[in-house]
Structure 1
Amino acid sequence: FLAKQPDFNFRNQKVRDNFKTILKFWLDKGVYGFRVDAVPHIFEKLNEDGSWPDEPRNDWNNDPESYDYLDHIYTKDQPQTIDVIYEWREFMDSYTKENGGESRVILAEAYSPIETLNQYAGNATHKGAQIPFNFNLMGLNGYSNAREIDDRVSEWMNVIWKEHKVANWVNH
């Protein structure tokens, strides 16, 4: 991310409440959905002593300027991120109930494993993003075969479709 982009502290309840105020502002203007960019990066792991752990190096990337130079186990897909998506969905569902109209939608842009995308979409007790982006096909190329395509499609259908009845095959 760029230095000029804000880095919000979502551990602070006031920040989270302010984001709901922002959502309400746009919902009041008639917006029916939000595309939330870079969802996996909402939270970073915080150690018990208040320090931020350093990401370990990836063995396969030697370019220090590359995002993939590090293995982002502390700055991507943290459990608290899933909770924020559930909070936003609950807020938007409450807004719809109070104000009427069609459901308001969250599109979650996340280059994440299928199991994590499934969590972003919800679980037995919480509703999440109605549309988690499906980047599953992006790793395919001109050398990919029908089996690889079928595997990627089946993975999505066996998890996301089975649990949430959502299928999309787009990049952006």
Structure 2
Amino acid sequence: MFTRVQSRAFVVLSLGLVSIGNPLHGQSVTPADTASQYNKIELSYHVKAIKRDSSGQYTMSGTVNGERQGKATLVFGFDEGSSGQAGKIPVHSYWVVTAVPASESFKAKLSGTAETVSGQTHLVGKITEGANKGRRVETSSRLLNFGPNHSLSDIDGNMIIDGK
């Protein structure tokens, strides 16, 4: 009889019909996909200069990896005037990210600064079209082979898209 009771208890427990521990009074359960909507999206990227136009803006192309995968095309340029910060010049970028799946693709417009000695950049802006439209976007990167007359060849960096 002991074996019979023990096996019935095992069946009931393995079916999840017996609650163990404290009940969830006053607590809510959030589905995993809803919880992730409130999290930041983190990406890394590497882009190479394709061409430089007569105004000094670079068209660049490369990849994004991390929580989203895909290709990035951007226009990166140095702005006239002062950033108001010693050793930093104003810059801007316009991003088109073609992600897989396509429903995660977006366009963004950012502005910020580049350090004249190290080539470190920090830009902030918003997603203007596509997935996560209206969310704040921030990039931190390094201009590689940053030379005189605002010349550069590659950019390696990280992008953070704020959660809702």
TM over 0.5: no
TM-score bucket of the superposed structures, by smaller chain: under 0.3
Name the structure where strand makes up a greater proportion of residues: 2
TM-score (norm 2): 0.26
Higher gyration radius (CA): 2
Name the structure where helix makes up a greater proportion of residues: 1
TM-score (norm 1): 0.26
